[in-house]
Amino acid sequence: MTERPPVLSVRGLSVRFLMPGGRRVAAVTDAHFDVAAGECLALIGESGCGKSVLASALLGLLPANALTAGEARLGDLDLLAADERTLARTVRGRLVGLIPQSPAAHLTPVRTVRSHLRETVAALTGVRGRAALRTAAEAAAERAAFPVDHLDRHPHQLSGGLAQRAATALALVGDAPLLLADEPTTGLDRDLVDRTVDELRRHVDTADGTGRALLMITHDLAAAERIADRIAVMYAGRIVELADAAAFFGAPGPRHPYSRGLLRALPDRAFTPIPGMPPELGDLPDGCAFAARCDRATGTCASPPPATDGVACHHPHVPEDIRA
């Protein structure tokens, strides 16, 4: 089988925030991953581990005190090196569709959802004419399960779940080669979560076989299991494991102790929380950042762990010592 080419290729992506007094906060460190055509990569991890910062870096949406390094190639374009004009006119919406983490903040408060959709449809698809735009806007709303009878409401009149669905509808309009979904199921009940991730999956699985790519950032491991081809686990700014989704959620299971801890914390599994708290990104240890919370840690963990076979750990689990 021919290997699918990457839509997005990230190499050595790091983000540092320069704080008052010259202190630097390492929000993302040396991230390496690809997202292939026709693939969904789910990026998971606890709050504050750097997932959303990574997404913002890809779209040039970081604050002025952020320093980036590395490459993030979308075809021939390095997103980290692109200027604001290129990002605004070529990338956002057209090459990369974004479902933001806080959708209400990304909607213009004085405009209705219908107005947002009509403008986006006209800009990204070339559809013209009042009737055609109305039809296209309503079709976009239906695709994201946004109720048509709420299209003439303003953002402040929407619940969190409805704002999320409006943002999803807007992100899907342009059928961008890469869809970046940052917590796309926040505020949705289980049925709508399933419907949303199924629609995102359809976005990836194009009928012509060329495929589009989806990078989904989520805390919802059930949604990740339903949609993802591969899983990237992030901890304290680093990707500590990259794994096939079926193997991660099934057998043999994750290999990094932190990844295992995330699954064991689920109510339908052991329902056992990971002890302790993640370290501050501005005060990371020299060695393994998870060592203080890990029951497999030894003195070796005082040095940085090697990244071997998709897992960055001195003492990764191997299939024979992983139990369901």
Encode pLDDT of 272-290 as tens digits. Answer: 999 999 999 999 999 999 9
Question: Residue 285 is which amino acid?
Answer: P
List Cβ neighbours of 54 (8 Å cut-off, separation of 6 or more): 13, 15, 28, 31, 43, 217, 234
Encode pLDDT of 119-168 as tens digits. Answer: 999 999 889 999 999 999 999 999 999 999 999 999 999 998 899 999 99
pLDDT confidence of residue 1: 38
**Cα(301)–Cα(324) distance, integer angstroms:** 26
pLDDT confidence of residue 187: 81
**Cα(196)–Cα(224) distance, integer angstroms:** 12
pLDDT confidence of residue 323: 46
Domain parsing of the chain, residue ranges: 6-90+206-321
**Cα(307)–Cα(12) distance, integer angstroms:** 13
- The CA-based dihedral angle spanning residues 16, 18, 22, 23, taken in that order and rounded to the nearest 10 degrees: -50
**Cα(110)–Cα(155) distance, integer angstroms:** 8
Encode pLDDT of 180-217 as tens digits. Answer: 999 998 888 898 899 899 989 988 887 555 679 999 99
Answer for the pair 146, 162: CB distance below 8 angstroms, yes or no. Answer: yes
Which of 50, 46, 44 has the alpha carbon at shortest distance from 62? 50
pLDDT band at 5 (very low <50, low <70, confident <90, very high): confident
To the question of domain 6-90+206-321 being in CATH 3.40.50.300, the answer is yes
pLDDT cut 70: percent of the chain above it = 96
More confident residue, 102 or 19: 19
**Cα(145)–Cα(163) distance, integer angstroms:** 11
pLDDT at 250 over 80: yes
pLDDT confidence of residue 207: 53
**Cα(50)–Cα(234) distance, integer angstroms:** 7
Answer for the pair 50, 217: CB distance below 8 angstroms, yes or no. Answer: no
Encode pLDDT of 41-62 as tens digits. Answer: 999 999 999 999 999 999 999 9
pLDDT confidence of residue 57: 97
> Residue 104, exposed/middle/buried by CB under 10 A (0-12, 13-18, 19+)?
middle
Answer for the pair 290, 262: CB distance below 8 angstroms, yes or no. Answer: no
For 270-285, the DSSP string reads T--PPSS-PPPTTS--
Average model confidence (pLDDT) for the chain? 92
Mean pLDDT (whole number) for 74-80 = 96
Mean pLDDT (whole number) for 16-23 = 93
pLDDT confidence of residue 3: 65
pTM above 0.85, yes or no: yes
pLDDT at 241 over 60: yes
pLDDT at 301 over 80: yes
Which of 238, 270, 277 has the alpha carbon at shortest distance from 256? 238
